[in-house]
């Protein structure tokens, strides 16, 4: 028997919540974004009036105002959005204990068992949608399918306040005829490659030889092939069963575009200090370093490398981040944001073997210096002690990187359940 999976997506979530608290702005274009002076944040979300005027999520604030001169931008209030997110999830949990968040505003809900006594997938979707509207004052779009990927596709297919059923009878007419970019995990770079090989639709992707896709994209090619064919079997996790911290990372949108390697180095070191400090506070170290770069055209890439020796030392993390940057970035455009992440974590006391090129004395000195900096900053603030590098450009280094720490969790954390081996 097929599963009954719902994917509920709150429409223009942050903006919708703000509209509830600003009824005087009804009928006006509104967006939630960051500080226009510091450029911290780009547009996080916008209401449909603003979107119809050309305001796009992820665009710079000046770009949004250029597209919509009358745009009203309000700062984000995460505590408020977190409260509404939890209220929505509480409603979802009335229908299933298998509720898996995908960000603050989206959740998968496995109603396979509850559907037997509460109603069919579309009936449950209609009931949930009505409750969200009545009890929270916002709307959701819900996709209903037999797998998580097509349920997610369904919630994106019609907005706002819509329910879309993707079943075995209609998926080829709906999903397969859609652009390949509409499939989860097909980003801009992947889309460009697929188009180059004459694969413009999800149906074309489904019909492409998986071996060819593997040769182009590696294992992810097989995953995308399975997704396109509706063969995703990844389970919906029970609510609150989040896995332990898998990685610790930090990213920032810079106050100005980065145009030189020295600019990048300053931001990478600032972020690496934050990541290393957080690792130490958890008693963890990791041996995979990843860098994320996005240019001012909002195109980006991620690259990672296993360094062999687990680390929570800022200098080692920064050096590897810069090595990855030099190896992979070609300076086609100025850079707008950068992120650093360390994964494959373990207890920092876990034994490991040094190689012959490692200087243990140097590592010990670097670690002690980091710990001393942690202690000073905990007493006197982040700006109390800084690297000399940070004084080269006080505008770039003015940010307190500690406030951007995130613990990202990915779709595949519980293993690849798509049927791909």
* Catalytic residue positions, numbered: 106
Tell me the three state secondary structure of residue 378: helix
Beta-strand relationship, 72-74 and 30-32 = parallel
Could you tell me which of 171, 204, 140, 191 has the C-alpha nearest to residue 6?
140
Tokens encoding 156? 């994106």
Residue pair 128/110 in contact by the 8 Å Cβ criterion:
no
| CA gap 232, 418 in Å, rounded | 4
Cβ neighbours for 18, distance < 8 A, ≥ 6 positions apart:
25, 30, 32, 74, 77
| CA gap 16, 47 in Å, rounded | 7
| CA gap 138, 19 in Å, rounded | 9
The CA–CA distances, whole Å, from 183 to 72, 146, 190, 226, 380 equal 32, 16, 11, 11, 48
Could you tell me which of 290, 286, 410 has the C-alpha nearest to residue 341?
290
Could you tell me which of 304, 311, 292 has the C-alpha nearest to residue 250?
292
The region that residue 95 occupies, defined by phi over 0 for left and psi between -120 and 50 for alpha, beta otherwise, is: alpha
Crossing angle of helices 314-328/261-281, nearest 10°? 140
Q: What are phi and psi of 306, to 5 degrees?
A: -85, 120
| CA gap 340, 199 in Å, rounded | 32
Residue pair 132/95 in contact by the 8 Å Cβ criterion:
no
**H helices present in 311-412, as ranges:** 314-328, 360-380, 394-397
| CA gap 53, 415 in Å, rounded | 41
Neighbours of 52 (CB within 10 A): 11
Residue pair 41/35 in contact by the 8 Å Cβ criterion:
yes
Residue pair 121/4 in contact by the 8 Å Cβ criterion:
yes
């Amino acid at each position: 028997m097929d599963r009954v999976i719902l994917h509920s997506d709150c429409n223009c979530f942050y903006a919708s919540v703000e509209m509830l608290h600003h009824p005087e702005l009804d009928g006006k274009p509104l967006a939630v974004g960051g500080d226009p002076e510091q450029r911290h944040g780009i547009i996080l979300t916008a209401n449909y009036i603003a979107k119809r005027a050309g305001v796009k999520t992820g665009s710079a604030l000046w770009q949004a105002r250029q597209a919509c001169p009358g745009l009203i931008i309000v700062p984000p209030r995460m505590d408020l959005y977190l409260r509404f997110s939890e209220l929505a999830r509480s409603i979802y949990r009335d229908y299933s204990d298998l509720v898996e968040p995908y960000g603050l505003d989206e959740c998968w809900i496995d109603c396979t068992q509850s559907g037997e006594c509460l109603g069919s997938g579309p009936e449950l979707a209609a009931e949930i949608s009505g409750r969200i509207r009545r009890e929270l004052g916002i709307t959701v779009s819900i996709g209903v399918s037999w797998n998580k990927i097509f349920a997610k596709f369904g919630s994106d297919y019609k907005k706002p306040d819509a329910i879309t059923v993707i079943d075995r009878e209609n998926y080829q007419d709906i999903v397969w005829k859609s652009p390949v970019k509409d499939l989860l995990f097909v980003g801009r770079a992947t889309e460009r490659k697929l188009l180059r090989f004459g694969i413009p639709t999800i149906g074309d992707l489904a019909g492409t030889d998986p071996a060819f896709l593997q040769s182009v994209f590696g294992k992810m090619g097989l995953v995308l092939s399975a997704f396109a064919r509706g063969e995703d079997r990844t389970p919906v996790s029970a609510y609150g069963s989040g896995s332990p911290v898998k990685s610790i990372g930090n990213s920032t949108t810079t106050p100005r575009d980065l145009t030189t390697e020295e600019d990048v180095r300053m931001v990478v070191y600032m972020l690496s200090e934050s990541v290393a400090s957080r690792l130490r506070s958890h008693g963890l170290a990791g041996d995979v370093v990843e860098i994320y770069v996005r240019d001012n055209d909002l195109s980006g890439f991620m690259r990672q490398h296993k360094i062999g020796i687990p680390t929570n030392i800022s200098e080692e993390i920064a050096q590897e981040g810069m090595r990855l940057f030099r190896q992979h970035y070609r300076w086609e455009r100025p850079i707008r944001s950068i992120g650093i992440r360390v994964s494959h974590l373990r207890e920092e006391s876990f034994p490991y073997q040094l190689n012959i090129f490692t200087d243990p004395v140097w590592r010990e000195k670097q670690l002690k210096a980091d710990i001393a900096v942690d202690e000073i900053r905990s007493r006197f603030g982040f700006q109390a002690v800084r690297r000399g590098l940070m004084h080269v450009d006080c505008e770039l280094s003015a940010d307190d990187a500690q406030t951007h720490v995130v613990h990202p969790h990915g779709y595949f954390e519980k293993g690849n359940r798509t049927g791909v081996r």
